[in-house]
Chains A and B, each alone.
Chain A
Amino acid sequence: MENAACPFCGLGCDDLRVERNGTALAVTSTDCPLARAGFGGDAAAAAAIDGRPAVLDAAVDRAASILAGARAPVVHGLAADIDGQRAAIALARRIGAAVDHQGGDALARNLSALGDGGWITASLAEIRNRADLIVSFGDPADAMPRFWQRVMWPDATLIADEPPARDVVLIGDGIGPRAGASPQARAAAIVPMARDAMPAVAAALSALARGGKVFADPAGGIPVAMLARIVERLGAARYGVIAWNAAAMDFPQADLAVAALAELLHALNRTTRTVGLPLGGAGNALGAQATSLWSTGQAPRLRFVDGEPRRDAQLWSAARMIAAGECDALLWIDALSRRPPPIAPGIPVIALARPGTDFASPPAVFIPVGAPGVDHQGHVLRGDAIVALRLDKLRDSNLPAVVEVMERILSAVMAGLDPAIHADQSPGGAGSVDARLKAGHDGDKKQGTPC
């Protein structure tokens, strides 16, 4: 297959050559590791209950009975095509589950800044054609392996019929010396920065752009004069880009760092054009966000209470709920990356996952599913949340799509499995879970406006 579309990161490449031998696929046009892993691997696996092979019907029934009996189920992972995500959200509504994407931390950081002050951004092709300067926190290739080739170094742009001359500034730690170098071997400027210094650095950049003073020098370990020079270059650029990868920002106040970058964008756009580029989108994260927004009005993370979505980016974090013992059934969906579910001791896990997923311990129910763009058609939303990519079926694997399994589980749940019969399966005692949930609700009220 020529020009295959790739669902494995937010870049949405559609130029892959994928060769097929039986049901085995191999990417031969790029060495992108995410694509190679995603298109590769087994095309078959048996469903399992408690680690023992089971027929699909039995696995579906068992999944439905666990979910129907749960008082605080969590639908997590959510790495599927849009149809699968839509069906998962519908199921969550029906069973009163919390909903969190596997990249929920990154989504929450960006959404927090967006809901706070808004921002100014651009979609990928706009950046490909217009950028003359990119300042990125971290190497964008960490989130999107072919970023440089596809976005930054085209042979020509709308503006000029020649390869663009672009300035690249990469801020961060562990950035390789060749990262961001142009095909003509012009090196990027690399500014070392400790990971957790980003909030301080972003705040200083934004203060400088607004004409303010920064008194602590260096700021976040970087001399203020150097930061002033970066702001000056952004101010002088015709179409500057500021990129960050929220998934890599696992330090305190990450949401404030994004908000500071948004302020920097607001300040720069008073005189010139500068756009933000929130990197990421693997696991169809933006598809999950968009589907949730249009079908519930709210972004993840949320929990359905009496069919109504209640959003709280902290409270309904699946990781937090598992750690706090507030979850009594975990439905894990990953039809893309083969990421295993989080370790959740004592909690029954239903895993809709690709063959070859490496579980730490056998889930209560394993239902193998196909990947969109590999085993079946589907759509994913690119990292810029603008382009929905149509994906093809590349082989006959008999692996069901997430949407099919979701619909079967939903109808089994609806078929009226009596929750009372299954209540004893929830560990830790229903009372304690309920008590913690109630505490969670009260916390919700006190917090006022979540996230």
Chain B
Amino acid sequence: MLTLLKGGRVVDPANDVDAVRDVLIRDGRIVDDPGPGARPDATYDATGMVVMAGGIDLHSHIAGGKMNLARALTPEMRGVIPPAAEVGLKYAAMGYTMAVEPAMVPSNARQAHLEMADIPIIDRGAYAMLGNDDFLLRLMLARRDHRAIADYVGTMMAATRALGVKVVNPGGISAFKFNTRKLELDEAGPFYGQTPRAVLHTLARALQTLGVPHPLHVHCSNLGIPGNVDTTLGTIAGAEGLPVHLTHLQFHSYGAEGDRKFSSAASRIAEAVNAAKNVSIDVGQVMFGQTVTASADTMAQYRNSRFARPAKFVCMDIECDGGCGLVPFRYRSRDFVNALQWAIGLELFLLVDDPWRVALTTDHPNGGVFTSYPRLIRLLMDKSFRDDALQQIEPHARAATQLGAIKREYTLREIAILTRAGPARLLGLKDRGHLAPGAAADITVYRPGDDAEAMFAAPALVFKDGGLVARDGKVLDDVLAEPPRGATHVVRPDRDRAIERELRDWHDRHMLLSFDRFALRDDEVGSQDRLVLHPCRPRAM
């Protein structure tokens, strides 16, 4: 079956294309023009429209035990944490064709995959959370060779069917289990004596050794604390040039100046990010409204629980490998701190120069729900819209932000980078996020207009693997009746299996589950799903 998308303006920054041209689809892939003899079976007129690759969200909490806990904690809230089916449908309707769950606790991986298997249409992946696992901290305490640590990290990625690795408050979640309430970057954690800096560097190096085509995803220490800018700058330095992706950076860009001891440090952070080419970021933009924050960072979430609205929260210590904390939040434009958080996020977007190193996120649902992306895009593209919004926020926050002075407006090309080309490149997805022949035919066609929010909220056409799934911002009825299944993207590094012996022994001695049962087998979850393996490029170090 040959499908022709005719005459659209193709915005495909990965291939340096911004031009009117046809796009041809065959068997779920984009193909070269087969020449004048070929007759398309279906033709869509895209004249006057903008054609981009399908959107890719590299950080969105869409599955796993903590999302169920969030749902159970807030039964009175509807729509904040959508059920699995709606996650896929809402993303697809918005022109997104892939989302990655960023905080899969290894012990909860099987459940997360069971849940993700119920997310229709879009492709999925997950980062395994390491860096608070007692096993790793113990390897570090024993000063084990970096090869052994890389073997362990690779084993955990394979066992949990992960696409990448995330570290959350390095060592801090473990420290909280020992009743340590704050852990500075260079402070030795309890019992294992490891500093967050060492944990972070160890994991970044392990990924480098394994050749994982994706930087270590880093949720820095001291989330949400006024003055945490120094920790964040220290973290950037601590990577020592190794590839790191700093996630929801907005929550880590706070100064402690002014009357209220809370200020924007976005320009200092942006300057450091601009200078450090090994660093990529996503913002975790705050959007005003009700949400439930969900994080593995129990240390931070416990601290933030006093701001819970409604006043309730959950913390859970998990299985000697992680934790989770759920705190409902209402971000209010009339609240000084919330308003400044909103402004800091936008400052970061606008002050970091290189769009290839920025991904557009709200850290769903932590800063806001993913369905608010179209509004966020308009805030970035439309200075007058942004200035109007700025007028609405709490006046002291307005005075404390330089947002009004920033003239930058994102171009369509830059938005395409932030929302698909960049994330695909950061994730090492060779055949996603662009529109060259050979790429997956995940394609979104937008109807341009003055209102970028309307444009991005309701794309005219959305194709997943070459099939039309949504039109005018609505998933098609026949797709709703029997939604297609997306693929699960994984990385399975080559590694020395010797470490498995130690893991087996560890599980037998300390866990309630043998290693064999801990590790996922290919035949057990989502066998109907396609598993896409991304190769590693191991490096001798």
| Chain A residues near B (Cβ < 8 Å) | 3, 5, 11-15, 82, 86, 111, 114-126, 128-130, 150-151, 154-159, 238-239, 269, 272-273, 275, 289-290, 293-299, 311, 377, 379, 381, 385-390, 449-451
| CA distance in complex: A4, B74 (Å) | 37
Asked if B81 is at the interface (CB within 8 A of a chain A CB), the reply is: yes
| Complex contact B512–A150 (CB within 8 A) | yes
Contact of A275 among B111, B317, B320 (CB under 8 A): B317
The answer on a CB contact under 8 Å between A388 and B513 is no
The CA-CA distance from A330 to B110 in the complex, in Å, is 32
A379 to B517, CA, bound (A): 11
B177-205 CB mask vs A (1 if < 8 Å, else 0) is 11100000000000100000000000000
CB within 8 Å for A125 and B319 given contacts A293-B68, A299-B75, A386-B107: yes
Contact status of A121 and B316, CB under 8 A, knowing A126-B177, A159-B191: yes
Whether the pair B84, A294 counts as a contact (CB closer than 8 A) is yes
Question: Which residues of B, 45-84, contact A by the 8 Å Cβ criterion?
Answer: 63, 65, 67-69, 71-76, 78, 81-84
Q: What 1/0 flags go to B305-321 for Cβ under 8 Å of A? A: 00010011111111110
Q: Is the CB of B83 within 8 A of A297?
A: yes
Q: Is there an interface contact between A290 and B513, defined as CB atoms closer than 8 Å? A: no
Query: Would B317 and A12 count as touching, CB distance under 8 A?
Result: no
B179 touches A273 (CB 8 A): yes
B118 at the interface (CB under 8 A from A): yes
Q: Is the CB of B317 within 8 A of A126?
A: yes
- Bound together, the chains give a CA A139 to CA B75 distance in angstroms of 31
**Interchain CB contact (< 8 A) of B81 among A124, A297, A388, A450:** A297
Known: A123-B107, A126-B320; 17 extra A-B contacts, CB below 8 A, are: A13-B512, A15-B514, A86-B118, A118-B73, A118-B313, A126-B317, A129-B320, A156-B510, A158-B320, A273-B176, A294-B84, A295-B85, A295-B118, A381-B111, A387-B110, A388-B108, A451-B75
Q: Is the CB of B179 within 8 A of A272?
A: yes
Contact of B302 with A by CB under 8 A: yes
Cβ of A129: which chain B residues have Cβ within 8 Å of it? 134, 320, 510
Q: B residues within 8 A CB of A115?
A: 72-76, 312
Q: Are A386 and B318 in contact (CB under 8 A)?
A: yes
How does the 8 Å CB contact mask read for B447-474 relative to A, with 1 for contact and 0 for none?
A: 0000000000000000000000000000
Contact A390 B110 (CB under 8 A): yes
Q: Shortest 6 CB-CB distances between A and B: which pairs?
A: A122-B317, A388-B110, A118-B312, A297-B83, A388-B111, A293-B68
Residues of chain B with a CB closer than 8 A to A381's CB:
111
- A128 with B110: in contact, given A123-B316, A293-B71, A386-B105 (CB under 8 Å)? no
Given contacts A128-B510, A158-B510, A295-B118, contact A387 B312 (CB under 8 A): no
Given A121-B316, A123-B316, A126-B319, A386 and B65 contact (CB-CB distance below 8 Å): yes
- Name A295's contact: one of B75, B84, B315 (CB within 8 Å): B84
Q: How far in angstroms is the closest Cβ of chain A from B41?
A: 30
Among B84, B114, B326: residue with most chain A CB under 10 A? B114
> Is B318's CB under 8 angstroms from A126's CB?
yes
12 contacts between A and B (CB under 8 A): A14-B513, A111-B72, A119-B314, A120-B314, A123-B318, A158-B320, A158-B510, A159-B191, A294-B71, A295-B83, A297-B78, A311-B75
Name the one of A119, A157, A275, A385 contacting B510, with C-beta atoms under 8 angstroms: A157
CA distance A116 to B314 in the complex (A): 11
User: Using Cβ atoms and an 8 Å threshold, which residues of chain B touch A3?
Assistant: 514, 516-517
Contacts of A14 in B (CB 8 A): 512-514, 517
Across the interface, which residues of B come within 8 angstroms of A154, CB to CB? Answer: 509-510
Q: How far is the CB of B487 from chain A (nearest CB, A)?
A: 20
State how many angstroms separate the Cβ of A90 from the closest Cβ of chain B. Answer: 10
| B101 at the A interface (CB under 8 A) | no
Q: Contact: A290 with B111, CB < 8 Å?
A: yes
B19 within 8 Å of A (CB atoms): no
Instruction: Tell me whether A297 and B71 are in contact (CB under 8 A).
Output: yes
Query: B123 interface residue, CB < 8 Å from A?
Result: no
Q: Separation in Å of the A37 CB from the closest CB of chain B? A: 21
Rounded to whole angstroms, the CA-CA distance of A191 and B326 in the bound complex is 34
B103 to chain A, nearest CB (A): 13
Interface residues on B, range: 35 or more
What CA separation (Å) do A128 and B115 show in the bound complex?
27
The distance in angstroms between the C-alpha atoms of A157 and B110, with both chains bound, is: 25
B430 within 8 A of A: no
Judging by beta carbons under 8 Å apart, are A239 and B319 in contact? no
Decide if A123 touches B521 in the complex (CB within 8 Å). no
Q: Assess the A5–B517 pair: CB atoms within 8 A.
A: yes
Interface centre among B111, B191, B521 (most CB of A within 10 A): B111
Residues of A within 8 A of B478 (CB): none
Tell me if B524 counts as interface (CB < 8 A to partner A).
Answer: yes
Contacts of A387 in B (CB 8 A): 107-108, 110-111, 319, 512-513
Enumerate chain B residues within 8 angstroms of A123, measured Cβ to Cβ: 107, 316-319
Residues of B close to A238: CB separation below 8 A: 178-179
Which residues of the partner chain A approach B105 to less than 8 Å between Cβ atoms? Answer: 386
Query: For B533, what are the chain A residues with a Cβ–Cβ distance below 8 Å?
Result: none
- Evaluate whether A390 and B524 lie within 8 angstroms (CB atoms) in the complex, with A125-B319, A294-B83 already known: yes
The answer to whether A122 and B65 have CB atoms under 8 Å apart is no
Which residue of chain B has the shortest Cβ distance to A381 in the bound complex? B111
On chain A, the residues within 8 Å of B517 by CB distance are 3, 5, 14, 389-390
In the complex, what residues of A have CB within 8 A of residue B516's CB?
A: 3
Residues of A contacting B85 with CB < 8 Å?
295
Q: Are B115 and A294 in contact (CB under 8 A)?
A: yes
* C-alpha gap A273/B302 in the complex (Å): 11
Bound together, the chains give a CA A124 to CA B107 distance in angstroms of 11
How close is B421's CB to chain A, nearest CB, in angstroms? 31
In the assembled complex, which residues on chain B have CB atoms less than 8 Å from the CB atom of A385? 65, 68-69, 111
* Interface presence of B511 (CB below 8 A): yes
Q: Given that A129-B320, A389-B513 are contacting pairs, would A114 and B314 also be in contact in the complex, using a CB cutoff of 8 Å?
A: yes
* A379–B513 alpha-carbon span in the complex (Å): 14
Measured in the bound complex, the distance between the Cα atoms of B316 and A385 in whole Å is 11
Q: Tell me the bound Cα distance from A114 to B69 in angstroms.
A: 9
Q: Are B114 and A82 in contact (CB under 8 A)?
A: yes
**Assuming the A-B contacts A117-B312, A120-B314, are A386 and B319 also in contact, with contact meaning beta carbons closer than 8 angstroms in the complex?**
yes
Give the chain B neighbours of A449 by CB distance below 8 A: 76
How distant is B6 from chain A, measured CB to nearest CB, in Å? 37
What's the Cα separation between A299 and B314 when bound, in Å? 17
Give the shortest distance, in Å, between B350 (CB) and chain A (any CB): 35
Residues of B within 8 A of A293 (CB): 68, 71-72, 83
- Cβ A120 vs Cβ B524 within 8 A: no
What residues of chain A lie closer than 8 Å to B525, measured between beta carbons? 379
Q: Give complex CA distance A271, B311 in Å.
A: 20
Closest Cβ–Cβ distance, residue A6 to chain B (whole Å): 11
Quote the shortest CB–CB distance from B459 to chain A (angstroms).
25
Cross-chain contact of B177 among A13, A124, A155, A239 (Cβ < 8 A): A239
Q: How far is the CA of A5 from the CA of B68 in the complex (A)?
A: 24
Measured CB to CB, the closest approach of chain B to A166, in angstroms, equals 16
List residues of chain B with CB within 8 A of the CB of A111: 72, 75
Digit string of B496-516 for contact with A (CB within 8 Å is 1, else 0)? 000000000000011111101
Q: Judging by beta carbons under 8 Å apart, are B108 and A386 in contact? A: yes
Closest-by-CB residue of A relative to B317 is: A122
Q: Are the C-beta atoms of A379 and B110 separated by less than 8 Å?
A: yes
Interface centre among A13, A126, A299 (most CB of B within 10 A): A126
Best-buried of B76, B319, B509 by chain A (most CB within 10 Å)? B319
Contact between B118 and A294, CB atoms less than 8 A apart: yes
B residues 503-541 touching A (CB-CB < 8 Å): 509-514, 516-517, 521, 524-525
Known: A297-B78, A377-B524, A390-B521. A122 touches B318 (CB 8 A): yes
